[in-house]
A and B are shown apart, each in its own frame.
Chain A
Amino acid sequence: MAAPIVREDEFETSMSFKKAVSVVSPLGLRIIAECPVTKARACDLTLPHCTVNTPVFMPVGTQGTMKGITVDQLDELGCQICLGNTYHLGMRPGPELIEKANGLHGFMNWKRNLLTDSGGFQMVSLVQLSEVTEEGVRFKSPYDGKEILLSPEQSISIQNSLGSDIMMQLDDVVSSTVTGPRVEEAMWRSIRWLDRCIAANKNPDRQNLFAIIQGGLNAELRKACLDEMTKRNVPGFAIGGLSGGEEKNDFWKMVTLSTDHLPQEKPRYLMGVGYAVDLVVCVALGCDMFDCVFPTRTARFGSALVPWGSLTITKKQFAKDLQPIDPECQCPTCRRHSRAYLHALFKSDTAAMHHITIHNLSYQLTLMRTVRQSIIDGCFPDFVRTFMKKMFPSPDQYPRWAVDALASVNLTLE
């Protein structure tokens, strides 16, 4: 079933063609400040629809909408870039329709930047009947049962129709808990697919294509992938294949290895990371961009994010609690509503979810703005220490991996 693993030497042929498509990408990265202690950095990332201040958390609007929030509300929260999912949008309403609506920006009326994934992740995580071959990912449509092939060319073609500011290459996704030859196969295949994606991009002048570093939890494979992919002239890099249930100890080592070898002048996007502690630690490890469904998904279950963790508003203990979710939060929800009212509203109406979604997005975006400011002000390590103190009742509850990861970039918590 598995295609033969193609080794590095086979890439020599694709090298020459790569030079031919060297177009100035519609992306600029200006490093504003670098933390003198850790690998953290604050940048201005210029994209076609606006400049994005990094480090940045990118909310996920899977089907061309941010889960009950209007685009104006999202804009008012200061969101400069959000995600759409190629798999979902490619299925419904389909690339042709979105193209007619002037791309995903026009379809959802979002004036700022959009990033689209390749569709490969959903293919593997959502669709049971999928088979990966050198050609692409073959699967059965859950809507009409038709067999569909998502090839690198097809993924890019859909993303070209969506018109996102940042497109992701189709990668061969293996669960981060898988080990053995399949991981290596997927890594080399992802490199070959990157070249096919680069060649397929019809709009290199207005759509940036990011490569995705694979290699599982194997440092050698990661390094090989980094070496190969950084030879390509892509405008940015993502660190993929993580956040899939692997040990956090393995996770951070792969992240820091990747940022060590990625070029300074290009943005680094750590895929699927969105817990506050993970965000702060991975900023310290040198990542610029993050995305995760967590803050919006957890909101719909009544969970509100706060600097000391989270509150499950639907719990009885909040029925008579007349404080806002977070007394220090300045979001529209906290300025107007109490925990008790949100608790009551949760029993009657979906607006309760929207209130918490707004709060959680505000929490994430505010956290990242604060992180950025601390980098600019040269006090990021102090920020991290304060952040951890608020998040955990006592230092002995700090997760070991976070302490180790921060120590690896010279940041001691005590």
Chain B
Amino acid sequence: MKLELARVVQGCRLGVLTGLGRAGQHSLEVPGCLLYTRCGSVPHLTQDTLHTLSNLPSVTQLTLSTLAEHQEVLEEFNEGVRKFAGLHDTVLYCSLHDPATLSPTGHITNKTVSVWGSGGRIELSVDKFMALQKAVQPDLYQSMADGETWPSNTSRKRVRKSVDRTLAHLDECLLLHHKTQELKGVEVLGVVEGGDVMEERVRSARETAKRPVGGFCLDGLQSAAMGQNLRTQLITAVIKELPEDKPRLLQGVGRPDQVLSCVEAGVDLFESFFPYQVTERGCALTFTFNITTDPETSGTGVQAAPTVLKLDEDKPEVNIVENDGPDHLPEDQSSMTPFEINLKDKRFRDDFGPLVEGCGCYCCKNHQRAYLHHLLVTNELLAGVLLMLHNTAHYCAFFSALRGAIASNRLEHLKERVLKGSGMVLVREGAGLTDGQ
């Protein structure tokens, strides 16, 4: 696995992660996202419906929280999740937790972490964790980690412990990894912890970078843990300790505005649980990211008018910031963001347009908002199928537009598009987030 950077603009790293997969035949463009799954399946979708979408991410994310309970059958099967789940030719990345759900706290010990499957809690020691990796047979996986630093009252001592434990888990994982024939050629991503404590973040990054890992997972920075201002500061500090040539995957962050800020802070990869969460609340992603000059669709002069949103050249780190609290309460992940529309809303009852004009996904090519509204109010299963198709397509297209914008020096333009189009306002650091709706 090798990261080839084409250019770095305003902190954003544009490049290609090559040599992915056991035979090294796959690649993934960065900044980019992974394909989110539960039990090896993109939620709601069969392989036939999923593959109506083109340009899917070449890396699929598996989660131990949905696979650990199937360890026995996977071990008996002995050919890995790719074949067990009937997946197409794709690179598999295996993470510990499901990023779309917060696990209950208070079950971590010095030697174990827990995941929650359909049948309840499953406690994982490093041995069991590695036995699972052997059964899952991913191409890359996240090392075992104690990431329980997101609750707001987490003490400095607890944060330090999480860094220590995570480093110890990494060493043990690497030891077992190198002894396991079946995991030859599989990459391990080291996990950077440290909660909201700057020194611990730096220590975690520095120590992890000393280990023979293929890349890094930045954990404990999820939306539930902190605001974007703090997140940006922490990521910026962490990144300084990490080698340039290895990828950085940020866990638990998916909102487009936060993605943009984190990419500027130096993040390469994101999980794509966000479109799934949007789907589950009956919403469709509709935010604009199209920056091709087209007077028909450009709206009210976003490009033409001298914009008040223009950023100071000296201060490229200016970000959309929010109050320093978490973006959402942990239990409130179901709340809507400005990037989506709620199709249950009465105004869509007789809206015969597609979810997004010009979108090429199966849903937009075949169905109207009024139909989606009907499927949602009648609780029909097809609603989840069609929304998941559209939201996945829209999110992947956003990353593609982001790469295009970096390549063509139009990142500011894209940011304006994404944020202003969603009714958000770019503000200076220190000010609160303004929701323009």
Enumerate chain A interface residues (CB-CB to B < 8 A): 63-73, 76, 88, 92-93, 97, 100-101, 107-109, 319-320, 322, 332-333, 336-338, 340-341, 344-345, 347-355, 358
**Cβ contact of B380, chosen from A67, A97, A101, A341, cutoff 8 A:** A67
Cβ contact within 8 Å between B385 and A347:
no
Cβ contact within 8 Å between B370 and A93:
yes
**Cβ contact of B370, chosen from A107, A332, A358, cutoff 8 A:** A107
Q: How far is the CB of B61 from chain A (nearest CB, A)?
A: 14
Cβ contact within 8 Å between B39 and A108:
no
Q: How far is the CB of A378 from chain B (nearest CB, A)?
A: 36
Cβ contact within 8 Å between B49 and A63:
no
Within the assembled complex, what's the spacing in Å between the Cα atoms of A347 and B40?
12
Complex interface: chain A residues within 8 A of B84 (CB): 338, 340-341
Cβ contact within 8 Å between B349 and A351:
no
Complex interface: chain A residues within 8 A of B46 (CB): 73, 332-333, 351, 354-355, 358
Q: What residue in chain A is nearest B380 (Cβ atoms)?
A: A65
Cβ contact within 8 Å between A63 and B366:
no
Complex interface: chain A residues within 8 A of B77 (CB): 320, 322, 340
Complex interface: chain B residues within 8 A of A355 (CB): 46
Q: What residue in chain A is nearest B386 (Cβ atoms)?
A: A70
Complex interface: chain A residues within 8 A of B199 (CB): none
**Given A92-B377, A101-B352, A348–B370 Cβ distance below 8 Å?**
no
Complex interface: chain B residues within 8 A of A345 (CB): 39-41, 85
Q: How far is the CB of B87 from chain A (nearest CB, A)?
A: 9
Cβ contact within 8 Å between B38 and A63:
no
Cβ contact within 8 Å between B76 and A320:
yes
Q: How far is the CB of B357 from chain A (nearest CB, A)?
A: 17
Enumerate chain B interface residues (CB-CB to A < 8 A): 38-49, 52, 66, 69-70, 72-73, 76-77, 84-86, 117-119, 349-350, 352, 362, 366-368, 370-371, 373-375, 377-378, 380-382, 384-386
Complex interface: chain A residues within 8 A of B70 (CB): 344
Complex interface: chain A residues within 8 A of B41 (CB): 345, 348-349, 351-352
Nearest 3 Cβ contacts at the A-B interface: A68-B381, A347-B118, A348-B39
Complex interface: chain B residues within 8 A of A64 (CB): 371, 374
Cβ contact within 8 Å between B39 and A349:
yes
Q: What residue in chain A is nearest B371 (Cβ atoms)?
A: A107
Within the assembled complex, what's the spacing in Å between the Cα atoms of A69 and B45?
10
Complex interface: chain A residues within 8 A of B44 (CB): 68, 349-351, 354
Within the assembled complex, what's the spacing in Å between the Cα atoms of A82 and B152?
54
**Given A97-B349, A101-B352, A344-B73, A70–B374 Cβ distance below 8 Å?**
no
Cβ contact within 8 Å between A70 and B66:
no
Complex interface: chain A residues within 8 A of B349 (CB): 93, 97
**Given A64-B374, A93-B370, A351–B43 Cβ distance below 8 Å?**
yes
- Residue picked from B73, B77, B362, most chain A C-beta under 10 Å: B73
**Given A347-B39, A348-B38, A348-B66, A341–B377 Cβ distance below 8 Å?**
no
Q: Can you list 15 A-B pairs, Cβ within 8 angstroms, ordered by A? A: A68-B44, A68-B380, A88-B378, A92-B377, A93-B370, A97-B349, A100-B352, A332-B47, A341-B86, A347-B39, A348-B39, A348-B66, A349-B39, A351-B41, A351-B42
Cβ contact within 8 Å between B85 and A341:
yes
**Cβ contact of B73, chosen from A72, A101, A320, cutoff 8 A:** A320
Within the assembled complex, what's the spacing in Å between the Cα atoms of A355 and B44?
10
Q: What residue in chain B is nearest A357 (Cβ atoms)?
A: B381
Within the assembled complex, what's the spacing in Å between the Cα atoms of A345 and B85?
9
Q: What residue in chain A is nearest B384 (Cβ atoms)?
A: A350
**Cβ contact of B86, chosen from A63, A336, A348, cutoff 8 A:** A336
Q: What residue in chain A is nearest B381 (Cβ atoms)?
A: A68
Within the assembled complex, what's the spacing in Å between the Cα atoms of A97 and B39?
39
Cβ contact within 8 Å between A92 and B378:
yes
**Cβ contact of A97, chosen from B49, B76, B370, B381, cutoff 8 A:** B370
